A = this chain, B = another copy of it.
Amino acid sequence: MIKVGIAGASGYTGLELIRLLVNHPEVELTVLTSETYKGKSVADVFPSLNGIIDIELQPFDSETLKACDVVFLALPHTTAMDKLPQLIESDCKVIDLSADYRLQDADAYPEWYSLTHTHPELLSKIVYGLPELHREKIKGAQAVANPGCYPTSVILALAPLMKTDWVNLDSIISDSKSGVSGAGRKPSMASQFSEANEGVSPYGLAGHRHTPEMEQELSGLAGNPIKISFSPHLIPMSRGMLSTVYIDLKKKLSDDDLIEHYQKFYNDEFFVRVLSKDRFANTHSVAGSNFCDIGIKVDTRVDRLVITSALDNLVKGASGQAIQNMNIMLGFEEKISLQSPAIFP
């Protein structure tokens, strides 16, 4: 049994880590932190955990957390930036769910996050934790930057094309739709029920912070700098994320050609499912699970490829992928505690 700590256990990704880890046979949850609810039992904050786990939430303390074998940082963006370095002074492995160490170019932080990174020297040492692309590096990493939900859905949708000469890499657009839990648990006007229900709201068009993360990984695959259009939308559902990705084809290719190519590319990947012909990815098929479903459709009238990519923003888009990374880093079977199918309806 390994000792696991979760910093930020009273947010949605924190709760999702707990939900998935309580039945992990190799894991013992030993430290849960929360500034807001310190002193309370986690089951008082989340009554779903009654009878299942009863640990007192405590304030963040790096010394306490260092005694864990693995620590998940499920903290707000910018909060993790100075806490991660404290933890990795010890042998403790760290999986950071924030954006603080995802970008390897320190200059991107002032541009996209309006801040100066306080530990630029660490950026190149911390592995971008998308297992389907970087599994070998993750195996040996002490710290992993867990990808964002939008980037996971978009990068997995496009990765198989990046080294081909089939597509126009200047033409990439991702029109993405997210459930409201992606905004986190802190009350805000935009995520009030009556503001989000019964409507669809675009936001952050032409400037969302997840853009450079996608471009970093796609550029790395292609071997050339790539710029994309990324348009997030808020959808009235609690969980789930769909990216509809558009890219112009440079040659005539059929659905079958592309599906075969994608299936080969993801042949060994349990968590990426390439759908059969004329099937489109749908969040219902992945909600609650660690799967990312990818659908392929060629619009032959205009020589454009339309890729649909669906995942659960809290699982494959956050806590599930973090556990997948933990399993890889510690040499466990990668699927442990992540094998449940989606919950539907």
State the A residues within 8 Å of B (CB). Answer: 12, 15, 18-19, 22-23, 46-52, 170-171, 173, 175, 177, 179-181, 185, 187-189, 191-203, 205-206, 227-229, 231, 233, 235-240, 242, 244, 246, 270, 273, 275, 279-289, 291, 293, 295, 297-302, 304, 306, 308, 339-345
Whether A293 pairs with B194 at a CB distance below 8 angstroms is no
> B198, A196: Cβ atoms under 8 Å?
no
The answer, among B50, B197, B231, for a CB contact under 8 Å with A345, is: B197
Task: Please tell me which one of the listed residues B170, B291, B306 contacts residue A302 in the complex, with CB atoms under 8 A apart.
Answer: B170
A237 touches B47 (CB 8 A): no
Closest to A198 in B: B237
Query: A173–B37 Cα gap in the complex (Å)?
Result: 36
Supposing A199-B237, A236-B193, A345-B195 touch, asked if A188 and B185 sit within 8 A by C-beta, the answer is: no
Contact A229 B340 (CB under 8 A): no
Contact: B299 with A205, CB < 8 Å?
yes
Q: How far is the CB of A315 from chain B (nearest CB, A)?
A: 10
Given contacts A23-B339, A193-B197, 17 further A-B contacts (CB under 8 A): A15-B344, A48-B343, A170-B302, A173-B173, A180-B197, A192-B192, A197-B237, A198-B198, A198-B283, A198-B287, A199-B284, A200-B235, A200-B242, A206-B297, A206-B298, A206-B301, A236-B237
Report the minimal beta-carbon distance from A286 to chain B, rounded to whole angstroms.
Answer: 7
Residue of A193, A270, A288 with most partner-chain B CB within 10 A: A193
How distant is the Cα of A50 from the Cα of B282 in the complex, in angstroms? 13
B50 adjacent to A293 (CB under 8 Å):
yes
CA distance A195 to B173 in the complex (A): 28
Is B345's CB under 8 angstroms from A202's CB? no
Which residues in B have their C-beta under 8 angstroms from that of A228?
302
Establish whether residues B341 and A239, one from each chain, have CB atoms under 8 Å apart when the complex forms. Answer: no
Chain B residue nearest to A49 (CB atoms) is B341
B180, B198, B229: the one within 8 Å of A240 (CB): B198
Chain B nearest CB, measured from A197 CB (Å): 5
Q: Is the CB of A229 within 8 A of B49?
A: no
